[in-house]
């Protein structure tokens, strides 16, 4: 196993108590916020981390970012759910990628938190459905901090407020190692969703925290709450790592 800071599996075990719930933390997982990125760059980083996690050369890690405008189509999606042609995409400076996650088409852009957990589910549970439900739960309890009631829909993956989706989820799992993740609408421009059939669902809408509350909220604060709540739901300790430290180690690691 390569020895540079923060990518080890072996970590101390500790317990903390909140309200009446006892949370058992079995390992520490690093979190890196990458700022605003192009989707292609973040996808390449994920691929390297995912491949090396499968080889047990790295530990579990969470990446968060905001993307420049991009539409991504999952492997089970339909191309005609994108309502723009290549010329229109170029004119509007929106990227488009057909990618290796589950699900249909969605939009990522500034003001939206995208969260990518690179987790070895052998260390958690071998159950992709439970993993999806735990991602949903993380968002639902984060929304509670803003007085917003999120819920699941039996037919669809993701988190909803009323009849509108606030968080889309799509993952890839290979040898029980995950990549891709969730997209949580915070302050983003929702008009970009008008040019797609979001997640291939024709009869439901899209919302955001800003739309519900009527004002913008602090994304850094929500990112922090997401990490706290992810720690509770998944039973992990979150170790914050700076983007500079991560990229320095990632550059070294990706060349080995």
The answer to whether position 4 is within a domain reads no
pTM (2 decimals)? 0.88
Structural domain span for residue 122: 18-247
Please report whether residue 253 resides in a domain.
no
Token output for 54:
């499968």
DSSP bridge partners of 70: 95, 108
Is 159 a member of any domain? Answer: yes
Percent of the chain as helix, strand, coil, to the nearest 5: 35, 35, 30
pLDDT in tens, 173-207: 999 999 999 999 999 999 999 999 988 888 889 99
> Cβ-count burial of 79 within 10 angstroms (0-12 exposed, 13-18 middle, 19+ buried)?
exposed
Q: What CATH number is given to the structural domain containing 26?
A: 3.30.930.10
pLDDT for the residue 18: 37
Q: Which of 6-15, 27-36, 112-121 has the lowest mean pLDDT?
A: 6-15
Number of independent structural domains in the chain = 1
Catalytic residue, chosen from 73, 199, 233, 236, is: 199
* Residue 124 belongs to a domain: yes
Dist. CA 64–CA 34, nearest whole Å = 6
Q: Residue 158: left (phi > 0), alpha (psi -120 to 50), or beta?
A: left
The neighbour count for residue 42, using CB atoms within 10 Å, is 19
Cβ atoms of 171 and 178 closer than 8 Å: yes
Is pLDDT at 85 greater than 90 in this prediction? yes
24 contacts: CB under 8 Å, gap ≥ 6: 15, 235
Among 105, 109, 107, 113, smallest CA distance to 193 is for 107
Residue 173 placed within a domain = yes
199 catalytic per annotation: yes
- Residue 48 resides in a domain: yes
> For the segment 96-115, what is each residue's pLDDT rounded down to a tens digit?
999 999 999 999 999 999 99
Match 């925290």 to its residue by tokens.
209
**Residue 112 belongs to a domain:** yes
């Amino acid at each position: 196993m390569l020895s540079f800071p923060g990518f080890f599996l072996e970590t101390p075990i500790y317990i903390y108590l909140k309200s009446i719930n006892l949370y058992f933390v079995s390992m520490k997982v690093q979190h890196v916020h990458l700022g605003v990125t192009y989707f292609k760059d973040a996808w390449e980083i994920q691929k390297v981390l995912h491949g090396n996690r499968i080889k047990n050369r790295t530990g579990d890690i969470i990446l968060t970012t905001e993307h420049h405008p991009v539409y991504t189509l999952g492997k089970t999606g339909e191309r005609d759910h994108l309502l723009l042609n290549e010329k229109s995409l170029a004119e509007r400076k929106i990227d488009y990628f057909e990618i290796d996650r589950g699900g249909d088409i969605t939009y990522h852009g500034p003001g939206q938190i995208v969260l990518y957990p690179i987790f070895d589910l052998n260390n958690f549970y071998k159950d992709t459905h439970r993993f999806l439900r735990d991602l949903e739960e993380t968002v639902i309890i984060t929304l509670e901090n803003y007085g917003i009631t999120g819920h699941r829909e039996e037919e669809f993956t993701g988190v909803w407020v009323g009849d509108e989706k606030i968080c889309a989820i799509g993952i890839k799992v290979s040898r029980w190692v995950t990549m891709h993740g969730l997209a949580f609408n915070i302050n983003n421009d929702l008009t970009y969703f008008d040019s797609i059939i979001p997640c291939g669902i024709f009869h439901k809408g899209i919302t955001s925290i800003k739309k519900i509350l009527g004002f913008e909220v602090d994304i850094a604060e929500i990112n922090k709450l997401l990490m706290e709540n992810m720690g509770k739901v998944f039973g992990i300790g979150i170790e914050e790592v700076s983007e500079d430290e991560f990229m320095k180690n990632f550059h070294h690691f990706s060349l080995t």
